[in-house]
Every structure is written in C-alpha cells, then in structure tokens.
C-alpha cells in the first residue's frame, strides 16, 4: 500500500524522499523493523489472550528433562509470526505481483489448516488433532495452486537467450536486445527472451540449469504439453515435505523459530540475486523478472521469526503450535520454488530433513524388527532427532544452539553453491 501511495506522491507532487520506496533495500530494511516491532508490541497481548482462553499445551510425559514444566504454556503462538509477516508485506510490497499474491495465499491457507489442528487439540481436547488425511489434502491443494500458477500465469517467466528459447521450443512472452560485456573483449549485442518454462537451478554443476521437460523427453514435442503431470506432483511433494519437516522440528523452545529465521534470511539473499539482472548474470543463475519483491516478503518473515523468538526462546512463554510450524514450512518451500532454488532445499533445510529422516528411520526400523524378531528395536533413543539428544542428557538450550549453528553452516553452504561448480 505504501509503495503505491509514495509512488503517487512522487509522480504528482515530487515529495522529497518518496522515491525511497522504489528501492528494494529500503523496503526490506523497513519490513524487518516493522515485523519486529509488531511482534514485540503485540506479542505479550496475544500470549495473554491465549492464556485467558486457556489455550495451553497438553504435555504427555515422555520422560524428557523439563518436559512437564511446559504443561499449560499457551500454544497457537504462530498467530504472532503470521501477523508480523503479513502486515509489513501488505504495507510495503507491490501487491499486484503474482509472487506476493502466491506467498500471501500460501501463508493464509496453511495458517488456517494449522489453526484448525490446534483448535481440535486444545479446545476440543482431542490429542490427535486434525486427521492426517485432511492435512495432506490441504497441503496438496496449495501445492496444486502453486504448481499450476507457475505453469500458466503469464507473469511468471525466466530470461534466456532468444536462440536458446527457439532451440528448446520455449513459449516466448517478450524479446529484447541487450549488450553483453566480456572482460578484454568488445561488447556485443545479444537477443534475449522472457519465456514460460520449467527451468530451475541445480547446485554444484556448471551451466546449472535443469528443465523438468527433460524427464518427459520420451514424449518428443508433446513433452511441454504434458509437463503438468510431472511438475505439479513435484511441487506438491516439496510443499508437503518441508511443511511437515518444520512441524517435526518444532519440539524444543526456539528450535524451529531460529532455524526458520536462518533459512528466511538465506532465501532473501537468493531472491535478491535472482531478481537482479547484474547479479544473476555474474553468478550465472536464472534471472527471474519480478521476483525481487520476494526479498521484502523474506525480510518480513525474518523479522517475524526473530520477534517471535523473543517469547519462544528457552524457557518459552508461548509455543507456535501447528498454526505456526505448518505455515513457516509452507512459506519456505513455496519461496524456494518461486525463485527456482527448490533443489537447494535438502541443503538449506538440512535440519528439517534430518528431523524427518530420523522419524522415518525410527518408525521403519521399529516395525521391521518387531515383525522379524517379535520385539521392536530403535535406532535412536527417541525421535525426532532433537529428542534423542535430550535422552542423552543434553540440556534443551544447548541442543537448540547447536542446531542453530548447524543451520548457519548449511545456509553458508547454500549461498556458496551459487559459485561452487
């Protein structure tokens, strides 16, 4: 809203300073500050309201250190993250951007699913919460929306050379000529095109563009017509996997919040270089016109997570609940998909991946050994992985801090993959 307001004031009245709102860096910085302020100013009020409504966490005794002390701690605190993310986005972003529209839709969609789950657990006193099949239906639904929008919306394009677009039969939306500068050589003009394609970036490989169409190459010229059969399920899988991974990680005070803040900051950097033609050329990654608005969303998300950490750090005054965990996982997944960096998710979201794999291994091995030996055996003392370390006697705060450190290392590795090929 402010973007359009100050754009009008600058064009009509030449208001000094109004032009600042055209700069991504200025709006991003403002978004972080605003989301932090919203979290800090309204956080205590929301927590007090949740406590008055007796929306406290019911804790089952699993023999973990300090676990029973958390009984009665208000949950559904993800409301703070959602509010602190969406308000700056609505105020500072170009709301006509399809990328922002998608991110707002994802946030609200998954927040509703998470809220219903928490409501059933806390208000209805049903510990099972929302049936898993309904969660999956909701996640599949938003994945379907994102996948089809990416395939068919005219504003979601990437830039390639016109020669490449013609050679690979891409749907060309716009062409233009630009100068290409090489060190020690004369400038030369190159014809470029904005195209509809399922191209994405692959880490660690030179000329690291991968087209999902290749997987359907056996269909010949019809591959592009049937790409939705492959592309949409991939999007659905990524959204569902990351969303559930974040949900599993939310088991210790500040763990999912801090890890998500690190991931959000990294995604903001990736969005900036993907939406900046000079940086994209230098790093030899896909330039995605219009994606620069996502930097502001990432900034709002980062500020919201850090602001929530004020209340969620050990000992937590509030838990995010599924209202928050499902939402932040979905935000991270769709954000990475929109900037064509979804293949970096296993690295960037390595904490989520480790937590998910630990649960899969634990359950699978337990079932296998029970069937084979008549007695279920375990790989970990307890899953998800963070509970394994608790069972080893490590303090909760130390586990969280060490997971954050690993998260930072993974974020740095993710960024350097842009040049490490």
Q: Measure Cα distances from 248 to 127, 306, 391, 403 in Å.
A: 16, 20, 17, 14
Q: Is residue 77 part of a domain?
A: yes
Q: Are residues 271 and 401 in the same domain?
A: yes
Q: Is residue 378 part of a domain?
A: yes
Q: Which residues contact 341 (CB under 8 A, 6 or more apart)?
A: 200, 201, 267, 270, 274, 348
Cα(158)–Cα(95) distance, rounded to whole angstroms? 20
Per-residue pLDDT of the chain (421 residues; tens, 9 = 90+): 776 776 767 677 776 766 777 889 999 999 999 999 999 999 999 999 988 876 666 655 565 665 666 777 888 999 999 999 999 999 999 999 999 999 999 999 999 999 999 888 888 877 778 888 888 899 999 999 999 999 999 999 999 888 888 888 888 888 888 776 654 555 678 888 999 999 999 888 776 788 898 888 777 777 778 888 999 999 999 999 999 999 999 989 999 999 999 999 999 999 999 999 889 988 888 999 999 999 999 999 999 999 999 999 999 999 999 999 999 999 999 999 999 999 999 999 999 999 999 999 999 999 999 988 888 899 999 989 999 999 999 999 999 999 999 999 999 999 999 887 7
Domain range for 358: 2-153+227-278+291-416
Q: Is residue 33 part of a domain?
A: yes
Q: Is residue 286 part of a domain?
A: no
* SS3 state of residue 195: strand
Q: Are residues 252 and 121 in the same domain?
A: yes
Query: Domain ends where: 225, 252, 270?
Result: 225
Which residue carries 């060309």 as its tokens?
172
Cα(277)–Cα(287) distance, rounded to whole angstroms? 6
- Residue 258 sits at φ, ψ, to 5 deg, of -65, -45
Cα(368)–Cα(378) distance, rounded to whole angstroms? 10
Tokens of 270: 């990736």
Query: Domain ends where: 205, 225, 245?
Result: 225
Q: Are residues 172 and 234 in the same domain?
A: no
Q: Is residue 331 part of a domain?
A: yes
Q: Is residue 283 part of a domain?
A: no
Query: Domain ends where: 180, 210, 225?
Result: 225
**Nearest partner of 83 among 323, 337, 326, judged by Cα:** 323
Q: Are residues 239 and 368 in the same domain?
A: yes
pLDDT at 199: 92
Q: Are residues 107 and 193 in the same domain?
A: no
Q: Is residue 285 part of a domain?
A: no
Q: Are residues 108 and 167 in the same domain?
A: no
Cα(7)–Cα(343) distance, rounded to whole angstroms? 37
Q: Are residues 261 and 375 in the same domain?
A: yes
Cα(291)–Cα(99) distance, rounded to whole angstroms? 7
Q: Are residues 98 and 236 in the same domain?
A: yes
pTM of the model: 0.93
Q: Are residues 211 and 353 in the same domain?
A: no
Q: Are residues 48 and 186 in the same domain?
A: no
Q: Are residues 236 and 203 in the same domain?
A: no
Cα(149)–Cα(143) distance, rounded to whole angstroms? 10
Domain count within the chain: 2
Q: Is residue 34 part of a domain?
A: yes
Cα(18)–Cα(27) distance, rounded to whole angstroms? 12
Q: Are residues 132 and 11 in the same domain?
A: yes
């Amino acid at each position: 809203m402010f973007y359009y307001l100050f754009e009008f004031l600058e064009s009509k009245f030449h208001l000094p300073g109004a032009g600042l709102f055209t700069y991504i860096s200025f709006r991003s910085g403002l978004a972080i500050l605003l989301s932090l302020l919203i979290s800090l100013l309204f956080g205590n009020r929301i927590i007090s309201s949740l406590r008055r409504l007796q929306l406290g966490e019911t804790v089952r005794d699993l023999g973990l250190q300090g676990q029973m002390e958390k009984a009665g701690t208000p949950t559904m605190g993800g409301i703070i993250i959602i509010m602190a993310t969406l308000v700056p986005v609505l105020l500072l972003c170009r709301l006509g951007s399809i990328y922002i529209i998608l991110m707002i839709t994802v946030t609200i969609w998954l927040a509703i699913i998470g809220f219903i789950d928490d409501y059933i657990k806390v208000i209805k006193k049903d510990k099972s919460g929302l049936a898993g099949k309904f969660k999956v239906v909701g996640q599949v639904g938003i994945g379907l929306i994102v996948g089809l929008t990416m395939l068919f919306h005219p504003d979601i394009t990437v830039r390639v050379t016109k020669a490449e677009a013609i050679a690979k039969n891409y749907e060309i939306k716009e062409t233009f000529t630009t100068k290409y500068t090489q060190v020690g050589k004369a400038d030369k003009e190159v014809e470029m095109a904005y195209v509809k394609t399922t191209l994405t970036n692959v880490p660690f490989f030179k000329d690291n563009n991968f087209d999902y169409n290749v997987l359907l190459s056996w269909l010949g010229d019809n591959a592009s017509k049937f790409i939705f059969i492959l592309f949409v399920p991939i999007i659905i899988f990524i959204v569902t996997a990351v969303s559930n991974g974040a949900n599993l990680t939310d088991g210790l005070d500040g763990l999912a919040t801090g890890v998500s803040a690190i991931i959000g900051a990294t995604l903001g950097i990736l969005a900036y270089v993907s939406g900046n033609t000079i940086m994209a050329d230098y790093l030899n990654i896909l330039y995605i016109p219009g994606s620069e608005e996502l930097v502001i969303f990432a900034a709002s998300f980062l500020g919201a997570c850090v602001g929530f950490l004020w209340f969620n750090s050990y000992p937590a005054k509030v838990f995010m609940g599924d209202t928050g965990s499902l939402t932040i996982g979905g935000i991270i997944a769709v954000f990475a998909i929109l900037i064509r960096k979804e293949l970096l998710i296993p690295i960037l979201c390595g904490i989520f991946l480790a937590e998910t794999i630990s649960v899969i291994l634990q359950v699978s091995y337990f079932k296998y050994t029970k069937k084979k030996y008549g007695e279920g055996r375990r790989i970990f003392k307890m899953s998800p992985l963070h509970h394994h370390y608790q069972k080893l006697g490590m303090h909760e705060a130390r586990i969280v801090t060490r997971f954050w450190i690993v998260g930072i290392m993974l974020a740095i590795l993710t960024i350097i993959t842009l040049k490490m090929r």
